[in-house]
A and B are shown apart, each in its own frame.
Chain A
Amino acid sequence: MDLLFALIIITIAIGLSADALDVVSFKISDYAAGKSLDRIATDTTAILINTPGTPCWEKSNSTNSVIPGLAMDNNGSKNTTKILSFAKISQLTINYQKLMGNVIPPGTNSSLTIYPSKPTWEPLKVGNETPPPDATEVAVVNRTVLVNFADFRILASVISNSNPEICPHNNFTVGHASVNQNSTTFWNCRNFKVTQEDLNSTDFYIITDPLILKDNKARWLLDRPDNMNEELGTFQGQPLLVNDKIHVMLGDDEETVLWFHIQTSDDPLSFNTYLVGVPKGSSSNNVSIEYLHPQPCSFVFKIWME
């Protein structure tokens, strides 16, 4: 009789124990897999965002042992803010599977989408696979990054609150007075250097922020100290291509310092003007004030076990 009673208790004990074993082992494997996948996701995101990757990887189409880092090359300068380069993002979109294969472990698959903070812009679908409905484990990482959408080089910027420079027209009978004198128009001038090589590789545009100006006396002028002129240009409410003017100014010299003058009727400045260099042949649609500075975006990276 006692043996049978004991048997019941033993059976219940075995059942409870087996059930606990089952639950715990499931939880352990789940936890281990989840933690390791989280770790992989965080580390992969760190590689993509914080490193520039194999040198010049975005220029060639090869994918062997290439690390697709997306950060802009900082050419040795100690700028610690990581900004992503659009050219690298585009190259990653073309060869996504192969390049990511170099970074994530075999047996996993991933997707990457970049959502710009401006609601009017389209999200960039870099890797567009989605996790299958039966995936056991999906890890998601969401980071805020800055993305440089266009490869601009700001040569001269005339913005409010910047220190005034005295331009060559100062004190001349021909030309404009310096900034501080009492007159109905005010001048702000900046200098910049241009070389023959720049002329061959970049297009020069003048853009204003905002594009359409309320100041109808606003004018711009480009000249050099040994070739001063009074040929004022007007603003057209769109980016102005000034390659010919700069070509004329540079002439046959290997390099020269040019001056960029802005005439306005209010002081302090009510608008900002930039003279930018873009790679030669870029379409003028891409030259927009919105692309001038790096834009914040959400970087959403998903990884799962196949």
Chain B
Amino acid sequence: MDNKGYVMSGVSLLLILPAILLLAVFLDMTNEGIGENTRVISSGSVLNTVKDLEAHIMVAGKEILKSEADGVMNSGKPLSDSRATIKDDLQFVMDQKVQNYKENMGMELDCNITSVGNSEDPFAVQINSTIYVEKGNITHLEHISQDIPITDPRYPIPNPLPFIKCKEYGGTQVVDDKICFGPSLAYYLDKRGVANAFAYQNSTTAFIIKKCPYDPYKMHGNNNNTLKNCIDNGYFHESADGPCFLCRLEGKGTCIHYGMETFIVPSSSTNTSVNCSNSSENFTYNTAPSSIDHVIFDDIYNGTYQGDMVIYHINGFEILFIYLENAHRSKYGFLTI
């Protein structure tokens, strides 16, 4: 062969080159497509992780609120800083969950609970958090603010205040979904020098925090049956003077935040008089401290004022009544004196 053969093979190689180039372009495109798909899937996975963490904060929040309230109920000791305690508990639980994700999913995560505080709704606790998720090139940072309700029936939360206030004075018992004070509340009031304290011997109050459906509250005064049903169920009402849930955990009878209140019901009186059921023979006390929990437990400002009797049920054997002063009478729709 002479030199001309190499020239021809070289040129034919040049002709195959475009085909190889096109093959390379095709492979590159396929890789791009796969890369695109991977990005879409990663992005979906990051977003779902964030949603999952957000939902977990809600569930963990409810569990922690319940467990702290149960702890206060059982020990009778108030929390020194309920907001900080709940924040630390929640941070601990979320750190564990984040660790789980890091190990199993190969993502970088950080969930930081920035604050725990009051929300506009006194029956909820507001939790602010920052969630950061990173997977490969995709990152997601979100600041979330959630209101955790304390009235979820799956996580019944007890009213912590009576357990704290009466611990030194004989404690309380829970009977039939109500807190029974026995002699302790009367003793507590008497020690503070409140007049007519023994009207509250054997009184009861609501145990689990539930929202009152009889809203607007003036409905309670329309008919005694409404008030009786509200007391039977142990409902709570919104109140500017009442302590909020977080301050109740700290044992405060009143606080500056918008809170809630419930009735503390004196024990029923037996109907001894046949003809006139509300004659004064039946009652030792015609006035006594007003039957609202933030009035009775107000030992900081000593604002336990007296109220007048409101009889809401007579059934032949017993007479049920509470004491309300004018401000609460007009709030609940009763006639003022």
Chain A residues proximal to chain B, CB less than 8 Å: 2-3, 6, 9-10, 13-14, 16-17, 20-21, 24-25, 27-28, 31-32, 35, 78, 80, 162-163, 165-168, 170-173, 191, 193, 225-226, 228, 256-257
Chain B residues proximal to chain A, CB less than 8 Å: 1-2, 4-5, 8-9, 11-12, 15-16, 18-19, 22-23, 25-26, 29-30, 33, 36, 51, 55, 146, 153, 156, 213-215, 219, 222-223, 225-226, 228-229, 232-233, 313, 315-316
Complex Cα gap A20–B12 (Å): 15
Closest beta carbon of chain A to B216's beta carbon, Å = 8
Please name 8 further chain A to chain B contacts, defined as beta carbons within 8 Å, in addition to the given A2-B8, A257-B226, sorted by A numbering: A3-B8, A13-B15, A20-B22, A31-B33, A165-B233, A173-B316, A225-B226, A225-B229
Closest beta carbon of chain B to A259's beta carbon, Å = 9
B33 cross-chain contacts in A, Cβ below 8 A: 31, 35
Asked if residues B22 and A2 are in contact (CB atoms below 8 Å), the reply is no
Closest beta carbon of chain B to A170's beta carbon, Å = 6
Complex Cα gap A255–B67 (Å): 37
B15 cross-chain contacts in A, Cβ below 8 A: 10, 13-14, 17
Asked if residues A3 and B4 are in contact (CB atoms below 8 Å), the reply is yes
Asked if residues B26 and A24 are in contact (CB atoms below 8 Å), the reply is yes
Asked if residues B229 and A13 are in contact (CB atoms below 8 Å), the reply is no
Closest beta carbon of chain B to A277's beta carbon, Å = 17
Asked if residues A32 and B29 are in contact (CB atoms below 8 Å), the reply is yes
Question: B32: nearest residue on chain A (CB-CB)?
Answer: A35
Closest beta carbon of chain B to A240's beta carbon, Å = 23
B213 cross-chain contacts in A, Cβ below 8 A: 191, 193, 257
Cross-chain pair count, CB within 8 angstroms: 95
Complex Cα gap A2–B15 (Å): 19
Q: Which 7 A-B pairs have the closest CB atoms?
A: A226-B223, A6-B8, A20-B19, A225-B225, A13-B12, A168-B229, A24-B22
**What would 10 A/B residue contacts be, using CB atoms closer than 8 Å?**
A2-B2, A2-B8, A10-B12, A20-B19, A20-B22, A27-B26, A32-B29, A78-B146, A167-B229, A257-B214
B55 cross-chain contacts in A, Cβ below 8 A: 80
Complex Cα gap A205–B201 (Å): 47
Q: Which residue in B8, B153, B215, B225 is a CB contact (below 8 Å) of A9?
A: B8
Asked if residues B8 and A10 are in contact (CB atoms below 8 Å), the reply is yes
Asked if residues A17 and B225 are in contact (CB atoms below 8 Å), the reply is no
Question: B233: nearest residue on chain A (CB-CB)?
Answer: A166
Q: Which residue in B23, B153, B215, B225 is a CB contact (below 8 Å) of A226?
A: B225
Q: Which residue in A2, A21, A168 is a CB contact (below 8 Å) of B4?
A: A2
Closest beta carbon of chain B to A76's beta carbon, Å = 12
Complex Cα gap A171–B320 (Å): 12
Complex Cα gap A145–B232 (Å): 43
Given contacts A170-B232, A256-B219, contact A9 B12 (CB under 8 A): yes
Complex Cα gap A191–B156 (Å): 19
Asked if residues A17 and B229 are in contact (CB atoms below 8 Å), the reply is no
Complex Cα gap A35–B34 (Å): 10
Given contacts A20-B23, A27-B26, A191-B213, contact A166 B18 (CB under 8 A): no
Closest beta carbon of chain B to A174's beta carbon, Å = 10
Q: Which residue in A2, A20, A27, A163 is a CB contact (below 8 Å) of B1?
A: A2
Q: Which residue in B25, B153, B315 is a CB contact (below 8 Å) of A172?
A: B315
Given contacts A2-B2, A24-B26, A32-B29, contact A173 B19 (CB under 8 A): no
| Max chain B C-beta neighbours (<10 A), residue from A6, A28, A173, A256 | A6
Given contacts A20-B22, A171-B315, A257-B214, contact A2 B5 (CB under 8 A): yes
Closest beta carbon of chain B to A35's beta carbon, Å = 5
